[in-house]
Amino acid sequence: MAIWMPSYSRSYIPVRSNKPRTTVTTFSYSADDAWSAAAAVTRLNGGYVKEEYYDADHEARIRPNKVLVREMLEAGQGWTDEDVRKGAEAREYWKGGLIKIIAGNANSFESSAISIAGKDTIDSAYDLAVLSSLILSAERGAERDELNRAKNIMSSRHMGRVGEAIDLKGMEVMSSRLVDVVGKHANEGQHEGNLYKWWGNALMVGARVDVKGKVKEHGVDRDTGTKLTKLNYVKIRC
């Protein structure tokens, strides 16, 4: 197969670009400071913000966590003692995930998080960007772990027949998590040792509520394999 090559006259002189060369900005921050700053920005932003956006009134500009963390580290201040504590807790949570890497059960995000948690200095934009999300991820991960421990000790059974109406008084809410793509909360609760799941409005974890609905289907919890009963047409009375 012939390969096309450009041909130039003997008088051809390549033109040099006058554009300035891009300089690579380097930095190196103490991991303790980086985790503290990430905790502070998570608190100030009310969570994790990946991309810049404006509020509903288009007045306040909400900036990404990774940008604010970098600015705070450059200033060398902005975090509180409570932020230091939360940052350290999040870091320890991810360090504890090393066993998942050894067992081959960690996904790519978890592997990055665990690796970053073990570093004494943060000196790459990628690590800093990932670290800025790890405070909230650790909090949610710890909540999920606690929830799974509770599910694992349940002797849950499938309740009712599909389509059957049920009326459960004093259901304990175990979790209530907003799923953005659905626009509703995935709620889980236990009643007399049996696990239930349904879509609805936000509920307070630990609260006792009366639940009326119909059995949609029987299944198992994805994380623990615990038997669960899925409900629909749910009405809640607190």
Reported as a single tens digit per residue, the pLDDT across 60-97 is 788 999 999 999 999 999 999 999 999 999 999 999 98
Of the ranges 2-6, 25-29, 31-35, 108-112, the best mean pLDDT one: 31-35
| CATH-assigned architecture of domain 165-237 | Beta Barrel (2.40)
Q: How many helices (H) and strands (E) does the chain have?
A: 7, 9
Q: Can you give the length of the chain in residues?
A: 238
- Mean of the pLDDT values across residues 115-129? 96
1 or 49, greater pLDDT: 49
pTM for this entry: 0.74
pLDDT above 50: residue 138: yes
**pLDDT confidence bin for 2, thresholds 50/70/90:** very low
pLDDT above 90: residue 26: no
**pLDDT confidence bin for 54, thresholds 50/70/90:** confident
CB atoms within 10 A of CB 166: 17
User: Domain map of the chain by residue range?
Assistant: 29-149, 165-237
pLDDT above 80: residue 121: yes
Which of 87, 121, 115, 119 shows the shortest CA–CA distance to 100? 115
Rg (CA), the chain: 26
pLDDT above 90: residue 176: yes
